[in-house]
């Protein structure tokens, strides 16, 4: 994958991810729960 | 192959950064916190006025919302009643993540101790006092273990007491403002 295609892919993924976090509450909640799980098992 | 691996790692880092920024901005002015990200001022809910409640009802409540006044921010937190008083913990206080994550506790320790707790939709104006009495810590550690560590076994209680003694876990009494 060349750099231009990769940059477009990153932009698209970031946009979809952001819209999902903002407008799909179950998706945002799931992401938060996974982050909380990571922190609670790895924070030392 | 190496380039592809780096590109995948790059996307994962991007997703983490986008998540942190988006959810921080989304929640910072909300009426209360999300699961992990701090919220804003607790606005809704009746403001409790009257005699000191019987805090035993909090035994059935897993988390409460706690808002600091200076700066205004709120988060979800455990709550423990012990000997008629009510307490909140802050863990990971000596870890790197704790220093980033638990900045509110450091603010309280530095003097910004006025808070509002929202419990079952009712707001309580309180003052946080860091617990330093080992005798009181025994009861609080037992309740913390019972509610959140699978049971108040001697091992669990001792582990929590050691964490408090070592400064890894800070315990604050949610005292009345007048105290």
pLDDT, tens digit (0-9, with 9 covering 90-100), for B65-89? 999 999 999 999 999 999 999 999 9
Q: Do B18 and A31 touch (CB under 8 A)?
A: no
B81 belongs to a structural domain: yes
B10 belongs to a structural domain: no
The chain B residue lying nearest A31, using CA atoms, is B19
- What does DSSP assign to residue B28? T
B20 belongs to a structural domain: no
B1 belongs to a structural domain: no
Determine the pLDDT at residue A43: 64
Cα→Cα distances B149→A40, B67, B146, Å: 13, 25, 6
Determine the pLDDT at residue B140: 95
B24 belongs to a structural domain: no
Determine the pLDDT at residue A44: 59
Helix (H) or strand (E) holding B144: helix B134-148
Q: How confident is the model at residue B160 (pLDDT cuts 50, 70, 90)?
A: very high
Output the CA torsion B132→B86→B118→B61 (10° steps). 120
Tally of domains in chain B: 1
Range of the domain at B133: 40-176
pLDDT tens string B90-147: 998 998 877 877 889 999 999 999 999 999 999 999 999 999 888 899 999 999 999 9
Q: Which residues have a Cβ under 8 Å from the Cβ of B43 and sit 6 or more positions away?
A: B31
Give the residue, B8 or A1, on which the prediction is more confident.
Answer: B8
The chain B residue lying nearest A34, using CA atoms, is B36
Chain A residues in contact with B19 by the CB 8 A cut-off are: 17, 21, 31, 35
Chain A residues in contact with B26 by the CB 8 A cut-off are: 21-22, 28
Question: What ipTM score was computed for the predicted complex, to two decimals?
Answer: 0.90
Cβ–Cβ contact B8 with A under 8 A = no
If you average pLDDT over every residue of chain B, what do you get? Answer: 93
Greatest alpha-carbon span in chain B? 68
B166 belongs to a structural domain: yes
Cβ–Cβ contact B19 with A under 8 A = yes
Tell me if B167 sits within 8 A of B151, measured CB to CB.
no
> What percent of chain A stands above pLDDT 70?
95
pLDDT tens string B22-56: 999 999 999 999 988 999 999 999 999 999 999 99
Give the residue, A40 or B154, on which the prediction is more confident.
Answer: B154
Q: How confident is the model at residue B161 (pLDDT cuts 50, 70, 90)?
A: very high
Q: How many CA atoms lie within 13 A of B114 on its CB side?
A: 8
Question: What sign has the CA pseudo-torsion B112, B118, B122, B128?
Answer: negative
When pLDDT is averaged across residues B7-31 and rounded to a whole number, the result is 94
CATH code at position B156: 2.30.110.10
Comparing CB atoms, the residue among A6, A32, A42 nearest residue B23 is A32
Q: How confident is the model at residue B179 (pLDDT cuts 50, 70, 90)?
A: low
Is residue A3's pLDDT more than 90? no
Q: Do B22 and A33 touch (CB under 8 A)?
A: no
B9 belongs to a structural domain: no
Q: Which residues have a Cβ under 8 Å from the Cβ of A34 and sit 6 or more positions away?
A: none
Left, alpha or beta for A12 (phi > 0: left; psi -120 to 50: alpha)? alpha
Q: Do A13 and B23 touch (CB under 8 A)?
A: no
Determine the pLDDT at residue B98: 79
Q: pTM for this structure?
A: 0.84
B83 belongs to a structural domain: yes
Question: What sign has the CA pseudo-torsion B81, B83, B84, B89?
Answer: negative
């Amino acid at each position: 994958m060349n750099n231009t295609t990769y940059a477009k892919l990153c932009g698209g993924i970031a946009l979809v991810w952001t819209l999902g976090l903002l407008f799909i509450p179950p998706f945002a909640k799931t992401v938060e729960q996974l982050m909380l799980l990571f922190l609670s098992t790895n924070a030392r | 192959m190496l380039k592809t691996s780096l590109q995948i790692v790059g996307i994962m880092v991007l997703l983490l950064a986008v998540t942190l920024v988006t959810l921080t901005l989304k929640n910072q002015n909300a009426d209360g916190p999300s699961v992990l990200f701090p919220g804003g001022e607790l606005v809704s809910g009746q403001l409790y006025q009257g005699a000191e409640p019987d805090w035993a009802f909090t035994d059935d409540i897993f988390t409460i919302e706690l808002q600091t006044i200076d700066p205004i921010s709120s988060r979800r937190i455990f709550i423990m009643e012990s000997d008629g008083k009510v307490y909140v913990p802050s863990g990971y206080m000596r870890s790197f993540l704790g220093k980033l994550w638990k900045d509110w506790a450091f603010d309280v320790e530095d003097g910004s101790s006025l808070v509002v707790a929202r419990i079952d939709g009712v707001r309580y104006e309180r003052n946080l006092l860091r617990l330093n009495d080992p005798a009181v810590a025994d009861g609080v550690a037992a309740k913390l273990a019972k509610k959140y560590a699978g049971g108040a076994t001697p091992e669990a209680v001792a582990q929590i007491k050691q964490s408090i003694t070592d400064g890894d876990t800070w315990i604050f009494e949610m005292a009345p403002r007048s105290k």
